[in-house]
Structure 1
Amino acid sequence: DNMIIKPITETSPIRQLARMRKVNTLKAATVTRDILLTAYWTGEGENRTSSNSQYGKKEISVNSMTGKVEVTNEALLDSMFDIENEIMSDMNEYFAQAEGSAFVNGDGVKKPLGFMSTSAGLTRFNSGSAATFDFDALIKLAGQLKTGYNPIYGMNRQVAAFVRTLKDGNGQYVWQMGNMAAGVPNSINGYAYVELPDMSATIGANSENVIFADFSKMYEVVDAFQAIVTRNPYILQDEGKTVTYVQRFVGGGVLLKEAGVVLKCAV
């Protein structure tokens, strides 16, 4: 057979949602406006009061992620597959999974700080239902963001399946599927949603299963430099092996806390 059958690697698609930036430094800085200036209503001849906007700086550290693969020279030379290509493909697949997990839940220690980390500072909205949430909570969650953002819901696929089971007092499903024939995609409460495999799938007291956010304003992903790929056929030559190293530099962090809110199940 000339095909390798591979299971699906679930990856949180934060790169498709967040603000992306390329830098050539290990600490990226973004200017933020923290306080808006004030203007005043004035009458004729009255003194004018000065006011200036105030600006700050948000720094996102760039982190290093390294993969190392050892492969025998026989496998490189005598295989029906392009082993070097398979190594790079698997490396990229794992890197995507690992960074997606960090963008969601990372603690900021040698990795990006995820938006679900309490250290990221997003507001938590209480579901109002002990150890669970209902469709009303999802509707109220949407009301927590300022008008002007372009938010969507984010959740694990298992939580999305739970939301589909919610019914109203008449036993009707409250999540009505979109009319695909008419080109209308599925939505929740009129908003789009995205499946984030790295969000919690466990619904219970104090669990945090759903985020409602304008990801492009809330979160930034920073890529630095070029990936470094090193192939060393000498370090393990006594064992007849070649070692491949791949090193990438990436950072991530919340830029604008008010652009996202997390649903927290009540105790």
Structure 2
Amino acid sequence: MTHAELRSPETKAAEGAPSSLEVVTAFDDFMRAFETFKEVNDERLAEIEARLSPDALTSEKLARLDDALDRQQRVLDTLALKSRRPPLEAAGGREPAARGEHKAAFDAYVRRGEVASLKSLEGKALAAVTDAQGGYLVPEVTEREIGRRLAEVSPIRAIATVRQVTASVFRKPFATAGFASGWASETGGRAQSATPTLDELAFPAMELFAMPAATQTLLDDAAVDLDQWIAEEVETAFAEQESVAFVTGDGTTRPQGFLTPAKVANSAWEWGKIGYVATGADGAFATTSPSDRLLDLIYALRSGYRRNATFVMNRRTQAAVRKLKDADGRYLWEPPATGQGSATLIGFPVVEAEAMPDVAEDAHAIAFGDFRRGYLVVDRIGVRILRDPFTAKPYVLFYTTKRVGGGVQDFDAIKTLKFGES
């Protein structure tokens, strides 16, 4: 069992929202670090021009500044998340009677293992697969909070379309051959339109689980908000698993990632595949005018998608991109304008997803597209918890599951940058 799984709910409950001064201070520190980074990188570029290679000390200093920028960005991200999270409560501050009854019964189950009230409630609601072996549904407000937290910390979920369903598989029809259309005068004849050819995409919901733990002594403490604790504990575990699956998932035991479909040069793109633009160099940007490939990637996307497009890459790729300049000497990567904002690359937002591959030969290390239209996340309604006081005494484990699916829903809305010659 990991240290994170055994964190005290009291420790989590003690974390409060950050003050505005903390956010401003962290943002100022980040901006100062970025200005220093630019100065050192300019020095490195000047050394390359003068003698074809930078001084080793300059490169080492730049690497340290890169790490410092990443740390400052993580601090900003953490403060921004905390500032957006009010205490968990029902809308309007008061719960309907049925919800309040479910919440009280669920609280008794989590704290003391009492199941009679939950069985009665879920029997009335005809809830399926919720028993002593399958677990019990969390209250609606707790489920809603888990979903909201995942939307904040799971990078792809935050920019994709999210749909809630009750079935185990969500099927979305699409036309492989569109409806016929044309122009006609007010009194002119109209030819019969052709019947479209339809197909469908299937998005099965896979089971995702986490297993936070607490001592019975802590559970007996009435001051501990268990709903809040559960939402916070499963957030990290769920987000880490989703972040990988939505990028590289195989579509069999987990959702299909957007990098999983076959990839072809964008000039040969067809439905069912992801188009890419090559950098022209194996495992690197091109030596001359490296920023041109990023522009090619942007304009490989049709204008209808480009308006809401986002770059997706991991932090190591972002560190490489951070050093690039345009023909006029301006940095392509820009820091966030405020403590709550996001960095931009050539004017488009940058989302950091650690599951994206590093820059390497033939790696598709950068994705660009309208992920709201391109990628679909399917949440099956219902989060279940099974209380287990036996497996890891003296700790009580809470086996928490939810069903999540995902996959590309518009293959023309996402493009990648391949670090290869072609």
The question of a shared fold, defined as TM-score above 0.5 by the shorter chain, is answered with: yes
Quickly say closer, same or farther: Cα 1:68–1:152, change in 2 above 3 A: closer
**Pairing of 1:50-199 with structure 2 (within 5 A):** 50-69=193-212, 71-74=214-217, 76-77=219-220, 86=229, 88-119=231-262, 121-133=273-285, 134-149=290-305, 150-168=308-326, 172-175=329-332, 177=334, 180=337, 187-199=344-356
Shift of the 123–84 alpha-carbon distance from structure 1 to 2, 3 Å rule, reads same
2:346 alignment partner, SS class = coil
80-89 or 17-26, larger mean C-alpha shift: 80-89
Deviation at 1:77, TM superposition (A): 4.7
More helix by share: 2
CA contact (8 A) 2:311 2:369 kept: yes
Match of 1:107, SS state, is coil
- Structure-1 separation of matches of 2:363 and 2:176: 31
Rounded Cα–Cα distance in structure 2 between residues aligned with 1:45 and 1:86 = 68
Report the secondary structure of 1:65's partner residue.
Answer: strand
State the 1:158 CA deviation: 2.4
Aligned letter for 1:254?
A: V
* Structure 2 residue ranges without an equivalent (≥5): 1-9, 16-70, 79-151, 263-271
CA offset digits 1:130-165 (Å, max 9, x no partner): 321221111001111222113221111222221121
Query: How far apart are 1:11 and its partner, in Å?
Result: 4.9
Matched letter for residue 257 of structure 2 = G
Work out which of the two has the higher radius of gyration on C-alpha atoms and give 1 or 2. Answer: 2
2:109 corresponding residue in structure 1: none
- Deviation of the 1:71 alpha carbon: 4.6
Higher strand share: 1
Pick from 241, 251, 255: which aligns with 2:409?
255
Residue 259 of structure 1 aligns with an amino acid whose one-letter code is A
- Structure 1 residues not aligned, in runs of 5+: none
Higher relative contact order (CA 8 A, sep 6+): 1
Cα displacement (A) at 1:168: 4.8
Deviations 1:74-104 (A, max 9, x none): 45458x9778864652222211121122111
- In structure 1, distance between residues paired with 2:385 and 2:296: 48
Q: Is the 8 A contact 2:159 2:372 kept in 1?
A: yes
Distance 2:295 2:248 in 1: 24
Give the CA deviation at 1:245: 1.4
AA aligned opposite 1:130: D
TM-score (norm 1): 0.80
Per-residue CA shift, 1:189-214, capped at 9, x if unaligned? 332322222212x2121111111111
Describe the superposition over 1:202-256 as per-residue Cα deviations: whole angstroms up to 9, x where unpaired.
21211111111110111000010210012244x459x555332111111111101
Q: Which amino acid aligns with 2:411?
A: K
Conservation of the 8 A alpha-carbon contact between 2:208 and 2:402:
yes
> How many angstroms apart in 2 are the aligned matches of 1:185 and 1:265?
25
Q: Distance in 2 between matches of 1:230 and 1:82?
A: 18
Q: CA deviation at 1:54?
A: 2.5
CA distance, structure 2, for counterparts of residue 257 and residue 14 of structure 1: 16
* Structure-1 residue corresponding to 2:396: 242
Identity between Structure 1 and Structure 2 (%): 27
Structure 1 match to 2:172: 30
Whether the 8 Å CA contact 2:274–2:414 is kept in 1: the answer is: yes
Equivalenced residues, count = 260
Change in 2 beyond 3 A, CA 1:191/1:242: closer
For residue 162 of structure 1, give the secondary structure of its aligned residue in structure 2.
helix
